[in-house]
Amino acid sequence: MNKKFFDDHCPVARTLNAIGDGWSVLILRNLFLNDSQRFQDFLESTPGLVPSTLSGRLKVLESKQIIQRQFYSEHPPRSAYRLTEKGRSLGPIMLALKEWGEKYDTST
């Protein structure tokens, strides 16, 4: 997902190229629910997500300036991720996804 995938003449497709992967959406969900998240936090709150997938998705989201990584300790080096302003602007999408999921039980 770090290269152009869907034809980007359409704004919906452009958004999908940024966050159209399900894992990316769940990563962003965690950052809307929690101000900052460490690598391990994402793994613990997202069943099925493995470190290699998480690492790749975080890099893509960071490269698109949707999230930012901040180091809060130098010795030992520790970092956490936060939404950028651009990332926070995804709020209406996340809310719409949540509301539809609450309305319809699509688990079957």
What contacts 95, CB < 8 A, 6 or more positions away? none
Instruction: Pull the structure tokens for residue 70.
Output: 């901040």
Q: Does 78 bind a copy of itself (CB under 8 A)?
A: no
**Contact region with a copy of itself (CB under 8 A), list: 21-29, 35-43, 51-59, 70-78:** 21-29
Q: How many CA atoms lie within 13 A of 57 on its CB side?
A: 20
For the chain, how long is the longest CA-to-CA vector?
48
One-letter identity of residue 40: Q
One-letter identity of residue 57: R
Q: Does 10 bind a copy of itself (CB under 8 A)?
A: yes
Q: Does 60 bind a copy of itself (CB under 8 A)?
A: no
Closer to a copy of itself by Cβ: residue 47 or 76: 47
Closer to a copy of itself by Cβ: residue 50 or 93: 93
Interface residues with a copy of itself (CB under 8 A)? 4-8, 10-18, 20-22, 25-26, 29, 46-48, 64, 86, 89-90, 92-107
